[in-house]
Structure 1
Amino acid sequence: MDRQILQAMREHAQRDYPREACGLVVVVDGRGKYVPCRNAAEGSEHFILPAEDYAAAEDMGEIVAVVHSHPDVPAQPSEADLVSCEASGLPWHILSWPADDLRTIVPSGYEAPLVGRQFSHGVLDCYTLIRDWYRRERCIDLPDFARRDDWWKSGEDLYMRHYAEAGFVAVSQDQPEQAGDVILMQLRAKVANHAGIYLGDGHMLHHLHDRLSSRDVYGGYWQEITRCVLRYKGL
């Protein structure tokens, strides 16, 4: 790691502490340069690097690495870090602060397990689980959709707005029948803000906020809060 880049990373981590700092390493005129970016996340436990900041860095030169800090926790990559590193196709430098410990990870084919994965909104959440299940079990790539933190609290009805675009049709109000049916649920919100995949035999796979993804019995409370059941066209 170039000493000037590392020092710039440290200074950025200190400025943004206790929030996560994020940035990019860019090669400009044959030299590496650290480009600090904004963290658009509303909370302090993760980061969202705005697309416009990424585009601005691309205009400067070639992006060769993603950087972010871990305030008050070790530089050990989270499951969300490993998944996001794979998606970016770039090395990731993680700097714990103020411990000042650096760890680098690179894409290596990592895939989060379907059961027992950690929650990270937008990276490992209930819709990500649906996308991963369909890709692994049905060889179907579902589109991703931008979603800000706590979108349901502002009344954004994202699931109902986008399910047809993702290739699904509504088949029932509350009764999944075949494996792969997607169950939309309204969990203490004004809109459908949670989803699970029916696995058959009365069980579903889902990922609740701030919990590990799990395989649970579908019925009772889950059926009470079901808004509708979707099925992928052609299945």
Structure 2
Amino acid sequence: MQPTTLQAIQAHAVAEYPRECCGLIVAIEGHEHYLPCRNLAGTPSEHFRLPAEDYAVAEDKGEVLALVHSHPDAAATPSDADRVMCEHSGLTWHIVSVGQVDGEAPECGDLQTIHPTGYVAPLVGRQFAHGVLDCYSLVRDFHERELGISLSDYTRDDDWWDKGQDLYSLERLHAEGFDLIEGEPRRGDMILMQIRSPVTNHAGVYLGDGQMLHHLHGRLSETVPYGGMWAERTRCIVRHREVRHD
């Protein structure tokens, strides 16, 4: 990375603080340039969202070499979500830390770089990042890895359940191949719950032996006993048509 590129990245990170900045490093006529992009994330807790239009503009200018974003008030250590999205992008990622010290103007700290290496987030113990690693992401990954079933992904806003959206509508689930079940759950069944929301807004996977895999906001994904508060908040249980049980 050229010194002028790093300086441009740091200036963007400071200007956007306390929000995350994001941008692209592009080779234009043999020279390296940093192109600041917009972050369309709705809240600071949501992983940054670089719009497709900004990426297209960068591609029109030259060859996209790397993606850049900042970690406000945090180290540049890549999160699980950073590693997952780096894999999806197929690009090198640069992460810069930015923050304030003793109330002074924000300044940048360390910079770390990651590359696509085949990383996959673990099912248990992954960090939460809405829209990237959340309860639905966990359900999707479980079905893909454990059952060989591919589920569609859906763009979802932070707090979508309070904005008139319904990620877990029965119509959508039916289209994905799920049917409502009655009786005791079996391994692989999706448990749909309602937690401080006007609609169903949380999902887990029944593992058998009274255990459920799920991922709550702000926590690591975990296995918990299914019953008690989780059973009380359950609205329905669905099973994919391709799941076979003896």
* TM-score, reference length from structure 1: 0.93
Post-superposition Cα deviations, 1:121-141, rounded to whole Å, max 9, x if no partner, equal 011100110111111111222
Percent identity reads 57
The structure-2 alpha-carbon separation of the partners of 1:176 and 1:35, relative to structure 1 and needing over 3 Å to count, comes to farther
Deviation of 1:232 (Å): 1.0
What residue is the counterpart of 1:146 in the other structure?
A: 155
1:82-231 maps to which residues of 2 (within 5 A)?
A: 82-97=83-98, 98-160=107-169, 161-172=171-182, 175-231=183-239
| In 2, Cα distance between equivalents of 1:144 and 1:122 | 9
Post-superposition Cα deviations, 1:101-143, rounded to whole Å, max 9, x if no partner, equal 1111001111111111111101110011011111111122211
Q: Secondary structure at the match of 1:163?
A: helix
| In 1, Cα distance between equivalents of 2:89 and 2:156 | 18
Q: For structure 1, which segment, 178-187 or 29-38, has the greater mean C-alpha deviation from structure 2 after superposition?
A: 29-38
Deviation of 1:156 (Å): 1.2
Post-superposition Cα deviations, 1:154-213, rounded to whole Å, max 9, x if no partner, equal 1311111521232222224xx552111001111110111000001111111000111111
What residue is the counterpart of 2:7 in the other structure?
A: 7
Q: For structure 1, which segment, 155-164 or 2-11, has the greater mean C-alpha deviation from structure 2 after superposition?
A: 155-164
1:56 aligns to 2:18 (yes or no): no
Q: Secondary structure at the match of 1:99?
A: strand
Q: For structure 1, which segment, 63-72 or 41-50, has the greater mean C-alpha deviation from structure 2 after superposition?
A: 41-50
What residue is the counterpart of 2:68 in the other structure?
A: 67
Give the partner amino acid of 1:226.
T
What residue is the counterpart of 2:102 in the other structure?
A: none
* TM-score, reference length from structure 2: 0.89
| In 1, Cα distance between equivalents of 2:113 and 2:173 | 37
Kept after mapping to 1: 8 A contact 2:185/2:237: no
Post-superposition Cα deviations, 1:66-93, rounded to whole Å, max 9, x if no partner, equal 1001112111111111111111111100
Aligned positions, number = 233
Q: Tell me the C-alpha RMSD between the 2 structures.
A: 1.5
Unaligned 5+ runs, structure 2: 99-106
Q: Secondary structure at the match of 2:25?
A: strand
